[in-house]
Amino acid sequence: MSRALLVLLVLAAPAIAADPPNIVFIFSDDHAFQAISAYGDPRKLIDTPNIDRLAKEGVRFDRCLVPNSICGPSRASVLTGKYSHRNGFYNNSNSRFDSSQVTFPKLLQKAGYQTAIIGKWHLVTDPTGFDYWHILPGQGLYYNPPMIRNGTRVKHEGYVTDLIADFSIEWLKKRDKSKPFLLMSQHKAPHREWAPALRHLGHNKDRKYPEPETLFDDYSGRGVAVRDQDMTLAKTFTALDAKLVPVPNMTEEQRTSWNAYYAPRNQAYQQAKLEGKELVRWRYNRYLHDYLGCIKGVDEAVGKLLKYLDDEGLAKNTIVVYCSDQGFYLGEHGWFDKRWIFEESLRTPLLVRWPGRAKVGHVDRNLTSIVDLAQTFLDAAGVPADPEMQGASLVPLLEGKTPENWRKSFYYEYFEYPAPHRVMPHYGVVTNRFKLARFYVPTLEGKPKVDYWELYDREKDPLETKSFFQDPAYADTVKELQTELERLRKDLKVPDQPPKEAFGSLLMPVKKKKK
Ligand code: CA
């Protein structure tokens, strides 16, 4: 390219930082903060040395919240910097991403960044705003996953997390080195059905894990929503979840190694004929073996990418982010899965390293969100954000400075119902101490079938096992939070009624009264 042409191109592009940082965004699916050693869970479930490096060399965000705790909607919020009710992606059942809308990769691409997404996409329509995309169709498979590369279906042999790491590094090797880059390296793991790599089977040496205090939660002290859900180890856990049957799509050789680990243990389980609490305990330990085995793979993938950045001298001018699309239950309340405004699913891990800018070893405890990421990346690159974006740049927080007007409350919304886990739609306001939420069952006729409020006080009840909504001592708190909730809904342009399609394709029909 001639120098004159280059100058023209630079002039035509929007403003960009003088030495724009590269961005490596590593995004996993359903990774609980309890399963990252840097977050210091008291159960000490796992050691994640590579992910922890980002906490040591950068900033650990301790209260990064998601606006709608499920996969697709979270991904749409990361890309658009908007809530589900503004970007139109409400649920995993029938939402399709409107790919014509503004996203941060599109804005970075326009500003001269080279952009790529590799791994899990899960937004139904094809990616836009990327020079290169190589994605799993839908949820994707753990073993030998078919993928789609720039529109063409391709076959691969291997374990999904390893492949995504390798393809990410391959793309970095082949990239146009004259441009800054955005790489979104997005893992399927540790999503259900939690299938570890063969080398990680038996990683925990049959450890019996400490149990969360609420493993046998009786759901008293709260409304019908927590009792009506279908996401318990006791009742919802399937034979595939328990690996009593092998996961799909393995080669014969892979299956042989797989069975060498699971078959004798499954036989012992069948012979023991466990029931009640003992059955739940067995499932809890099997679940954690498999889930944490997946995390071992993700941590190694992070290690490979960090090593590549080190070896190539790229680490210095590259922002590396590790984040999950939401948190996850690791037996708390007897559950797996996500969806709720409760802490384990509302909070997601967020670790950011940016040499020279992010305060080394800093812990940020402000209310932050993945809805802030789009504006953060644009700010770091010196590219103006879209005025419709609903978050705020985290750059000052990365530098250890909290802006005076930083949010003191956060709006949450969840829609998908009743399938797949019967978690009632709800929305609410979250502060450092409290959560006020309205639960409701939508009907085709528009009038909710169930409609009630709950109040949680994390100072008095950190495990969120009791609603204080009816307690007269909290009357003023409820009033204040309701006012704040209305302010947030107005500010975030939340419609009074969500559209019917927000709840998914299986909306509850109203039972007709017999005449
Ligand atoms: Ca997810």
Does residue 178 lie in a domain region?
A: yes
Cα of 346 from ligand 1 centre, angstroms: 12
Q: What whole-number distance in Å separates Cα of residue 441 and Cα of residue 35?
A: 32
* Residue 380 shares a structural domain with residue 420: no
List the structure tokens of 64: 């990064």
Give strand ranges (E) for 103-164: 114-120, 132-136, 147-149, 152-154
Residue pair 161/146 in contact (Cβ under 8 Å)? The answer is no
> What is the pTM for the complete model shown?
0.95
User: Which residue range forms the structural domain that includes residue 369?
Assistant: 20-195+286-398
In percent, how much of the chain has pLDDT > 90? 92
Percent of the chain with pLDDT over 70: 95
Residue 510 has a pLDDT of 58
pLDDT of residue 509: 62
The answer to whether 227 and 277 have CB atoms below 8 angstroms apart is no
Q: How far is CA 157 from CA 140, 141, 347, 419, 506, in A?
A: 13, 11, 34, 32, 36
Whether the predicted pLDDT of 51 surpasses 70: yes
Domain co-membership, 365 together with 482: no
For ligand 1, the distance from its centroid to the CA atom of residue 37, given in whole angstroms, is: 20
Residue 515's pLDDT band (boundaries 50, 70, 90)? very low
By the 8 A CB rule, do 21 and 380 touch?
yes
Confirm whether 323 is domain-assigned: yes
Interior angle at CA 287, CA 282 and CA 291, nearest 5: 155
Give residue 71 CA to ligand 1 midpoint distance, Å.
4
Calculate how far, in angstroms, residue 338's C-alpha sits from the geometric centre of ligand 1: 8
419 in the same domain as 378 = no
Cα(326) to centroid of ligand 1, in Å? Answer: 6
Helix, strand, coil tally for the chain in percent (to 5): 35, 15, 50
pLDDT > 80? residue 4: no
Q: Residue 11 falls within a domain, yes or no? A: no
pLDDT at 92: 94
Per-residue pLDDT, averaged over 392-414, amounts to 98
Looking at the predicted structure, is the pLDDT value of residue 7 above 80?
A: no
Q: Do residue 375 and residue 422 come from a single domain?
A: no
**Mean pLDDT over each residue of the chain, to the nearest integer:** 95
In a domain, 394, yes or no: yes
Question: Could you tell me the distance, in angstroms and rounded to a whole number, from the CA of residue 463 to the centre of ligand 1?
Answer: 22
Cα separation, 264 vs 261, in Å, equals: 7
For ligand 1, the distance from its centroid to the CA atom of residue 18, given in whole angstroms, is 36
Arithmetic mean of pLDDT, 171-195: 98
Query: Last residue of a domain, which of 398, 420, 450?
Result: 398
pLDDT tens per residue, range 438-495: 999 988 777 889 999 999 999 999 999 999 999 999 999 999 999 999 999 999 999 9
* Confidence (pLDDT) at 514: 54
Considering the domain architecture, whether residues 55 and 104 belong to the same structural domain is answered as: yes
**Residue 409 CB partners (closer than 8 Å, separation 6+):** 367, 429, 430, 431, 484, 488
Instruction: List, for residues 11-45, the tens digit of each pLDDT value.
Output: 445 557 788 999 999 999 999 999 999 999 999 99
392 shares its domain with 416: no
- For residue 484, is it within any domain? yes
How far is Cα 171 from Cα 207, in angstroms, rounded to an integer? Answer: 38
Could you give the residue ranges of the DSSP H alpha helices within 370-462?
373-381, 395-398
Same domain, 296 and 428: no
Looking at the structure of the chain, the number of domains it has is: 2
Which are the contacts of 113, defined by CB distance < 8 A and separation ≥ 6?
Answer: 20, 23, 105, 179, 180, 181, 182, 381
> Are residues 438 and 391 part of one domain?
no
Question: How far, in Å, is the centroid of ligand 1 from the Cα of 476?
Answer: 36
Distance 150 CA to ligand 1 centre (A): 23
Of 350, 373, 398, the position where a domain reaches its end is 398
Residue 494's SS3 state is coil
Give the DSSP letter of residue 111.
Answer: T
Here the CATH number for the domain that contains residue 368 is: 3.40.720.10
Where a domain ends, among 343, 368, 398?
A: 398
The answer to the question of residue 203 being in a domain is no
| Centroid of ligand 1 to alpha carbon of 324 (angstroms) | 7
Asked whether residue 164 is assigned to any structural domain, the reply reads yes
Q: Which residue has the higher pLDDT, 349 or 5?
A: 349
CATH of the domain at 435: 3.30.1120.10
Are 430 and 65 within 8 A, CB to CB?
Answer: yes
pLDDT tens for each residue of 68-127:
999 999 999 999 999 999 999 999 999 999 999 999 999 999 999 999 999 999 999 999
Do 45 and 147 reside in the same domain of the chain? Answer: yes
Instruction: Note whether 470 and 390 are same-domain residues.
Output: no
Which pLDDT band, with edges at 50, 70 and 90, does 254 fall under? very high
Judge whether residue 384 has pLDDT over 90: yes
Q: Rounded to the nearest whole angstrom, what is the distance from the C-alpha of residue 122 to the centroid of ligand 1?
A: 10
Cα(304)–Cα(194) distance, integer angstroms: 21
C-alpha 118 – ligand 1 centre gap (Å): 16
Residues with CB under 5 A from ligand 1 (ion): 29-30, 71, 325
421 and 388 inside one domain: no
Would the pLDDT of 1 be above 50? Answer: no
Q: Are residues 119 and 152 in the same domain?
A: yes
Q: How confident is the model over 288-301, as pLDDT tens digits?
A: 999 999 999 999 99
| 248 is a domain residue | no
User: What is the pLDDT, as a whole number, of residue 46?
Assistant: 98
Q: What per-residue confidence (pLDDT) applies to 16? A: 73
Say if residue 498 is preceded by a cis peptide, omega within 30 of 0: no
Torsion of Cα atoms, 6 then 12 then 13 then 17, to 10°:
70
Alpha-helical (H) ranges within 312-444 are 343-346, 373-381, 395-398
